[in-house]
Structure 1
């Protein structure tokens, strides 16, 4: 569970404009014509005006109402949601901020499972921080009472749920070995099966709860796979559907895990403050209703988010807290199956990366090296991530021969992994090494990076 490259967020208006087939100029003209038809008077329709809106300028209310009318959006929603959040209603697919109901959950899962044409995220913007905050608040308010009651009883139709859980576990480990890109199709296919069971099969009680958990975890995993493939906007789309399914399952540990996934994506998209807030929400949701191992996982990711904000003291405090929680974990704890990958907090790649962010490459290299030694043999994707960051630390310490050799090892392993994160990290590593091209060992490995990537 590690990083992806930073990308710039595409404005919601740009996505709406692309979805309706407009250029900057034709969109400006269409809005001006609609404004005139609504009685708002003449409005300039230069393409530069739309470009300014997409760069962050807020349109005047008459222009917003003209846009809403153009896209069939209720003007009351324009006033209620504000700019640019109301534009979500003009995009294809389910409304991210729709009420949390079983039918909306199924619609979101249907859309996610059955529409691979939008899976590459080309027409989907990253959600603004205001929308993420609203979604978090809405979700928490919806499920807090249900979570407090807890889940009791065993499975009904255990042969069905057991079979699906087995498939899900295999997919987790396939991701560890091959990377997320190779797993998205399988995840989408299995999610479609679970959604059909939810919609058409006869189920009550614990079976219904378990099917919603499976839908939530498949959607979460699909989001993770998209994230690992380098597609953050596609990951957010999946996690939106997962939030809805998890609201029906009311599993506090899994809910916290889901928010933690979304938080990491924010950190790697250059929004560490938002990521830190979401992780704090995850920790609050888990509370005392989960195991020390899960608490340690969340707090370890908080170390990463906090370090990315530059708060070294808080990052250090959280690492100590995570280590203490990990030490409290006991054999026989009822840890969730998805937590199988969690290791000692100081050995996690996010911790090593945190010390790189804090300008301490020596500590980063030491922690990452220990973590690399503790990895399971089949965790090939994570092995590349650890090695790339170790090489970065070595380059920053000016141990160039070691950095070049570590980079070569990372490239050898990356050749059998399908992961956009690995590709991005190797590209970042090339940038890190470029100022040292005068070194023969660095020059050699840079030539190989240029040829292979």
Structure 2
């Protein structure tokens, strides 16, 4: 933190319209609720804002005085002061480290893990209206030890991320340890802009990877915190397209959990600042999926979003941001097909899902498994039992080969509907395979 920056306690107090005297009074009231007395006064608040660290009890009273959950203090002082009552970390020029610390705090050290939809929407709205961050100057300076360590970390992270799915339990632990190191370096390491840029970029990559891994395993609150940590770091880099993509990942998670109102709110905010056509195509496509899957489908809006997604993808060309190079005609076909299925347009939907699945490269087998599960659900809804069983079996096999529990969960949800048809050979094979559950 620069000397010119306000202390996080000053910022948290100011955000709530509290003077030092008013905050001191609230701290005393919090202590009284615990049957204790506090001698907190304005001079003590001033000392804390000048660098004196409050004791553990005083930090609990400060949390209550600011309307924060008391387990927020599981983070080191003063990082937990960046939080809000909705569970999000406020987006500021220096919020990247607090957001990373929040994601990395062990679950056993907190009782409060829930992140509200209001908190996510507020964070996305704050990002949408924020002044663009000043991009860090990446001009290289004289080589230093810190740079060599960043090179080592980057090489290790790339190798760990590329390791096969069978190694994910081990590589996830190692990637988490690397993120701890990167966070420490951001807080105390080489302050040169070129090094900071590389560290923020590495932190964003690590947090993004860990978010998807936790999402695949159903640990949704932790996945959301990693996505938010990645967002804070891309915001520090001034990379609005990538930040918009991370908000759309949070929206994807919300839609997966059937919270389509939240998904649409997040995507609407993300679209206000996304600029690259490939990024905008992805956002429009996810918006269309959510609109089509809503309890009261927005047909006209969904079709408009599908048209926009196709238009933007046609404009995208080959020079794309690294984080969405995978966005392709296959994804457009698959997600358009699923959206049309949800809207009841079954004939074109079936063809698009088939075409999209064939277009997917072998490196996208996790996505292929999801598509096959969608196809199985479609066949099953139309009582096409044999094709449904074959698609579900193929999806389950891919899910286990690629260590994709999220895909396996989709298939397992379908299996009760197959039981009345257990006499079919293909269904019997599926039910046998589904009963032999794998361990992620």
Q: Normalization by structure 2: what TM-score?
A: 0.73
For 1:418 and 1:346, the matched residues in 2 are separated by 21
Question: What is aligned with 1:112?
Answer: 103
Tell me, in whole angstroms, the C-alpha distance in 1 between the residues paired with 2:95 and 2:331: 41
Q: Which residue of 2 aligns with 1:292?
A: 277
Note closer, same or farther for the CA distance 1:202–1:361 as it changes in structure 2 (3 Å cut): same
Give me the whole-angstrom Cα distance separating, in 2, the residues matched to 1:180 and 1:236: 19
In the alignment, which residue of structure 1 is the partner of 2:317? 330
Q: 1:382 aligns with which of 367, 381, 387?
A: 367
Match for residue 398 of structure 1? 383
How far 1:303 moved relative to its partner?
1.4
Q: Once the 2 structures are TM-superposed, how far is the Cα of residue 127 of structure 1 from its aligned partner?
A: 1.5
Instruction: Specify which of 123, 126, 132 is matched with residue 145 of structure 1.
Output: 132
- The TM-score, its normalising length taken from structure 1, stands at 0.71
1:61-76 equivalences under 5 Å are: 72=61, 76=65
Quick check: 365-374 or 341-350, which moved more? 341-350
Cα–Cα, structure 1 residues 437 and 202, in superposed 2: closer, same or farther, change >3 Å?
same
1:416 aligns with 2:416: no
Q: Contact 2:310 / 2:332 at 8 angstroms: preserved in 1?
A: no
- The aligned residue for residue 317 of structure 1 is 304
Aligned-residue offset at 1:271? 1.0
SS for the counterpart of 2:436 is helix
Which residue is 2:66 aligned to? Answer: 77
Query: 1:407, 1:445 within 8 Å by CA — same for their partners in 2?
Result: yes
Q: Which residue of 2 aligns with 1:231?
A: 219
Does the 8 Å contact 1:181/1:229 carry over to 2?
Answer: no
Gaps of 5+ in 1: 1-33, 39-68, 79-85
Matched, 1:241 2:229: yes
CA distance in 2, matches of 1:167, 1:350: 34
Q: How does 1:27-426 map to 2 (within 5 A)?
A: 72=61, 76-78=65-67, 86-87=68-69, 92-93=74-75, 94=80, 96-97=83-84, 98-101=89-92, 104-113=95-104, 115-118=105-108, 123=111, 125-142=113-130, 144-146=131-133, 154=139, 167-170=156-159, 173-174=162-163, 183-286=171-274, 288=275, 291-309=276-294, 310-331=297-318, 333=319, 335-344=320-329, 347=332, 349-426=334-411
In 1, the alpha carbon distance for the partners of 2:330 and 2:302 equals 12
Q: By how many angstroms is 1:438 displaced?
A: 5.8
Separation of aligned partners in 2, 1:436 and 1:204: 65
C-alpha distance in 2 between matches for 1:325 and 1:103: 33
Instruction: List alignment gaps of at least 5 residues for structure 2.
Output: 1-31, 37-57
Provide the aligned length of Structure 1 versus Structure 2.
372
- Whole-Å Cα distance in 2 between the matches of residues 96 and 182 of structure 1? 31
Please say if residues 219 and 238 of structure 1, whose CA atoms lie closer than 8 Å, have aligned partners that are also in contact: yes
Does the aligned pair in 2 maintain the 1:404–1:445 contact within 8 Å? yes
Is 2:415 the counterpart of 1:430? yes
- Check 1:181–1:311 CA distance in 2 against 1; reply closer, same or farther (3 A cut): farther
Q: Is the 8 A contact 2:64 2:70 kept in 1?
A: no
Displacement of 1:383 in angstroms is: 2.2
